[in-house]
């Protein structure tokens, strides 16, 4: 009852200074909008990064030889040994370097009139690469690289989606021939577009890695991924991989190779995103504090402008507590209104961002509630000092102010 | 005058103001009783301490020493909260400059004390309307203060002072901002309120205004004098 009339009074006071009220509110609006937008966008991006990382398979490790003087790379035979280890699903070596592609009109019907030459990334992989890494994309045309292609070092190639579009538009060139460093390679397939973290295949031309080693002299792969059968036994499998590495490298010092568990990479990424999110939230909180100081400033001005009014209200029987409440309510109305607008804008911003960046927008009511609670707290916190000043005002001095 | 106990009883009230390191004594031991139902004027020149005295009577300020009894209650030592209640329930204030809140209508101004008395809104409206009728401004209830003449504004202020049905009306130069005719109207209202039983204490430096009261006391340099004492003072006999 009494509360209601106080709120009504505060609203009419705020309306009387609508412009000032709005500008003051703007600080809170900006603060809450940025907090909410950053948290929702950040959460959305983090979620999709995790999604994609674990979609790639968290259950794998990357083995890399750093000291190629000790051992330049792994042979086909050695890779087969890794693949046969207990608990290993398969291994995926990857070679990559740029080479000249030549499209001859008599060998293939590309977009170009005459001979077209272009430097593109050539990736050497095995059949396991396709079964593991591109499983969610699949083939647009033709087939992927088979175990036989790897074993017999066939001169075949698969086009990445972007490369295919840039060379052929919409035409399916299966069976036609493209020259890589003057070697004829038969196009056996076109990959669907890869989405997610590792999209390097899209712009590449992909050949059996054995062909890459022998025909294109790309060197032995010094790095490959080991995929575990189940992520639960990662530690044991990594120990076996480590043993084999050590013996293959003749127990050279431990720095000459590394085994990185992707689970750890995922953890690291999470730590980093948490850190970045925390920093952004910190900045947003600073914005909100600035907004709060704006409220405090405006309320201090209001209190001194309304000195006579405060004196009169006291003369008419307002207790200090009532005066305190009145000014506190004004501050809280500003911050809470700002908070509500900020939550709406923040959610709107993160929805738009989700469309632009391409993560899935989720509305988290707890975040919204927290943001509102936060803005309420800002109003109370920064409204308290001016309100106390009003409450403590001496009624005679205050009345004399007219 | 009367053998009843006084409604306002001041005994040896002193008050001084601190200005830096210096003390400025304003009231020097004032003893002053007002019986219930009286209409008393406090007459004195500017700076004599009239407003200071009224602030003490109105529980807006506390004396440095002396005792103040309001009805049966000793005011000394009351909390701020209790003083606010006294101002709300027992005293109605009328100021020289009206002191209406400019952005709310006449009736809302009149309702203000009832908000602090925690009276429900419907009753507030009814009671405020009754007070406005009493001062003859029922038709101006929805006007903003600036849409009223000075005399009308002061009548709204009187309605506001009366709305909590206080026993005492305290007025500090209530006609100070009004012309003589309008001032006389206000004095008529005060007299009729007094006849209804409300105790009126009015502060003024204007002899003509003071003469509407049933009793006049004089204040000079922080000391209070009865009419007889005042006239006995050197050089003042002619003026009184
Ligand atoms: N807050 C204060 N601080 C210092 N001195 C004050 C204060 N209030 C009043 N005084 C001084 O006390 C004296 C009496 O002031 P008061 O307001 O009571 O006079 P008054 O009789 O009401 O005068 P007026 O007729 O002009 O209103 C004056 O000299 C004034 O300067
Ligand atoms: Mg005065």
The structure tokens listed for B77 are 């030592």
What pLDDT sits at residue A281? 81
What pLDDT sits at residue A38? 83
Query: What are the DSSP E strand ranges found in B113-227?
Result: 168-172, 199-204, 215-220, 223-225
Per-residue pLDDT 10s for chain A (402 aa) are 578 888 888 888 888 889 999 999 999 999 999 888 888 888 887 777 777 776 666 678 889 888 778 888 999 999 999 999 998 989 999 899 999 999 998 888 888 888 999 999 999 999 988 887 766 568 899 999 999 999 999 999 999 999 999 999 999 999 999 999 999 999 999 999 887 667 788 999 999 999 999 999 999 998 899 988 876 777 888 889 988 988 888 876 767 888 888 778 778 888 888 888 888 888 888 888 999 999 999 999 999 999 999 999 999 999 999 999 999 999 999 999 999 999 999 999 989 988 887 777 888 888 889 889 999 999 999 999 999 999 999 998 888 866
* Chain A closest-CA separation from residue B116 CA (Å): 6
Q: Which residue on chain B is closest to A322 by alpha carbon?
A: B116
Kindly list the protein residues that place their beta carbon closer than 5 angstroms to ligand 2, a single-atom ion: B 51
Atom of ligand 1 nearest to the CA of A396: 1
Is B88 at the interface with chain A, CB within 8 A?
yes
What pLDDT sits at residue A400? 81
| CB-closest option in A1, A16, A317 to B84 | A317
Q: What is the DSSP string of A106-145?
A: TT---SSSS-EEEEEEEEEE-HHHHHHHSTTT-EEEE---
Cβ neighbours of residue A200 closer than 8 Å, sequence gap 6 or more: A96, A121, A123
The mean per-residue pLDDT over the stretch B187-205 comes to 95
3-state secondary structure of A269: helix
Using a CB-CB distance cutoff of 8 angstroms, which residues of chain A are in contact with residue B104?
A: 12
Q: Which of B13, B14, B17 to mutate to test the pocket of ligand 1 (most atoms within 8 A of CB)?
A: B17
The mean per-residue pLDDT over the stretch B39-54 comes to 94
What pLDDT sits at residue A57? 60
Report the run of H or E that residue A50 belongs to, with start and end.
helix A18-57
Size of interface A-B (CB pairs under 8 A): 64
| CB-closest option in A5, A315, A318 to B93 | A315
Q: CA-to-CA distance for A122 and A216, rounded, in angstroms?
A: 9
What pLDDT sits at residue A98? 94
What pLDDT sits at residue B238? 47
Atom of ligand 1 nearest to the CA of B53: 18
Burial of B2 (0-12, 13-18, 19+ CB in 10 A): exposed
Calculate how far, in angstroms, residue B55's C-alpha sits from the geometric centre of ligand 2.
10
The structure tokens listed for A115 are 């001979």
Question: What CA–CA distances, in Å, run from A70 to A53, A240, A251, A252?
Answer: 32, 21, 10, 7
Burial of A224 (0-12, 13-18, 19+ CB in 10 A): buried
Backbone φ and ψ of B33, nearest 5°: -120, 140
What pLDDT sits at residue A1? 57
* Chain B closest-CA separation from residue A339 CA (Å): 28
What pLDDT sits at residue B184? 94
What pLDDT sits at residue B1? 47
Question: What CA–CA distances, in Å, run from A87 to A79, A226, A236?
Answer: 15, 10, 8
The structure tokens listed for A182 are 């003057």
Cβ neighbours of residue A29 closer than 8 Å, sequence gap 6 or more: A291, A338, A341, A342, A345
The structure tokens listed for A49 are 């990064």
What pLDDT sits at residue B2? 47
The verdict on pTM exceeding 0.90 is: no
The mean per-residue pLDDT over the stretch B43-49 comes to 93
| CB-closest option in B97, B116, B118 to A316 | B116
Q: CA-to-CA distance for A261 and A252, rounded, in angstroms?
A: 21
Say how many Å lie between the first and final Cα of chain B, rounded.
Answer: 21
Backbone φ and ψ of B43, nearest 5°: -110, 135
Contact B118 A2 (CB under 8 A): yes
């Amino acid at each position: 009852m009494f509360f209601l009339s106080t709120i009504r009074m505060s609203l009419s006071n705020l309306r009387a200074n609508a412009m000032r009220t709005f500008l003051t509110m703007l600080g809170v609006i900006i603060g809450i909008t940025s907090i909410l937008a950053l948290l929702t966008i950040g959460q959305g991006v983090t979620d999709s990064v995790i999604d994609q990382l674990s979609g790639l398979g968290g259950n794998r490790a990357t083995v890399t030889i750093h000291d190629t003087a000790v051992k330049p790379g792994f042979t086909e035979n050695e890779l087969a040994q890794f693949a046969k280890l207990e608990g290993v699903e398969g291994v995926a070596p990857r070679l990559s370097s740029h080479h000249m592609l030549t499209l001859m009109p008599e060998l293939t019907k590309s977009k170009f009139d005459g001979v077209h030459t272009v430097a593109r990334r050539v990736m050497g992989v095995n059949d396991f690469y396709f079964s593991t890494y591109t499983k969610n994309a699949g083939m647009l045309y033709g087939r992927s690289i088979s175990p036989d292609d790897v074993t017999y070092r066939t001169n075949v190639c698969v086009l990445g989606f972007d490369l295919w579009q840039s060379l052929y538009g919409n035409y399916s060139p299966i069976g036609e021939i493209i020259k890589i460093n003057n070697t004829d390679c038969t196009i056996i397939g076109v990959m669907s577009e890869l989405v997610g973290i590792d999209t390097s295949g899209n712009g590449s031309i992909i050949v059996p890695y054995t062909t890459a080693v022998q025909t294109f002299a790309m060197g032995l792969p010094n790095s490959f991924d080991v995929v575990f059968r189940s992520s639960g036994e990662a530690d044991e499998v990594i120990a076996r991989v480590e043993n084999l590495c050590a013996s293959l490298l003749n127990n050279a010092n431990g720095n000459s190779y590394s085994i990185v568990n992707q689970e750890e990479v995922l953890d690291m990424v999470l730590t980093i995103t948490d850190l970045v999110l925390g920093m952004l939230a910190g900045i947003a909180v600073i914005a909100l504090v600035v907004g709060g100081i704006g409220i405090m400033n405006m309320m201090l001005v209001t209190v001194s402008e309304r000195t006579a009014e405060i004196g009169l209200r006291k003369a008419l029987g307002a207790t200090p507590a009532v005066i305190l409440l009145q000014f506190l309510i004004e501050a809280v109305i500003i911050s809470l209104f700002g908070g509500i607008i900020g939550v709406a804008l923040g959610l709107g911003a993160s929805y738009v961002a989700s469309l632009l960046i391409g993560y899935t927008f989720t509305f988290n009511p707890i975040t919204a509630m927290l943001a509102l609670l936060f803005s309420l707290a800002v109003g109370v916190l920064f409204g308290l000092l001016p309100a106390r000043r009003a409450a403590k005002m001496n009624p005679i001095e205050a009345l004399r102010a007219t | 005058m009367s053998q009843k106990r006084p409604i306002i009883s001041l005994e040896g009230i002193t008050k001084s103001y601190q200005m830096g390191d210096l003390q400025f004594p304003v009231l020097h031991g004032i003893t002053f009783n007002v019986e219930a139902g009286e209409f008393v004027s406090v007459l004195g020149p500017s700076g004599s301490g009239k407003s200071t005295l009224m602030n003490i009577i109105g529980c807006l300020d506390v004396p440095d020493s002396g005792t103040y009894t309001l009805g049966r209650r000793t005011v000394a030592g009351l909390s701020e909260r209790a003083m606010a209640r006294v101002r709300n329930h027992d005293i109605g204030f009328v100021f020289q400059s009206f002191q209406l809140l400019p952005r709310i209508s006449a009736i809302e101004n009149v309702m203000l004390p009832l908000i602090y008395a925690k009276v429900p809104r419907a009753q507030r409206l009814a009671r405020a309307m009754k007070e406005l009728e009493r001062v003859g401004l029922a038709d101006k209830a929805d006007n903003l203060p600036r849409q009223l003449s000075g005399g009308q504004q002061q009548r709204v202020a009187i309605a506001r002072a009366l709305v909590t049905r206080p026993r005492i009306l305290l007025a500090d130069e209530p006609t100070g901002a009004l012309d003589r005719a309008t001032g006389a109207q206000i004095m008529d209202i005060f007299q009729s309120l007094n006849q209804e039983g409300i105790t009126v204490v009015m502060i003024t430096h204007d002899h003509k205004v003071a003469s509407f009261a049933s009793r006049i006391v004089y204040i000079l340099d922080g000391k209070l004098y009865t009419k007889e004492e005042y006239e006995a003072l050197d050089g003042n006999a002619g003026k009184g």
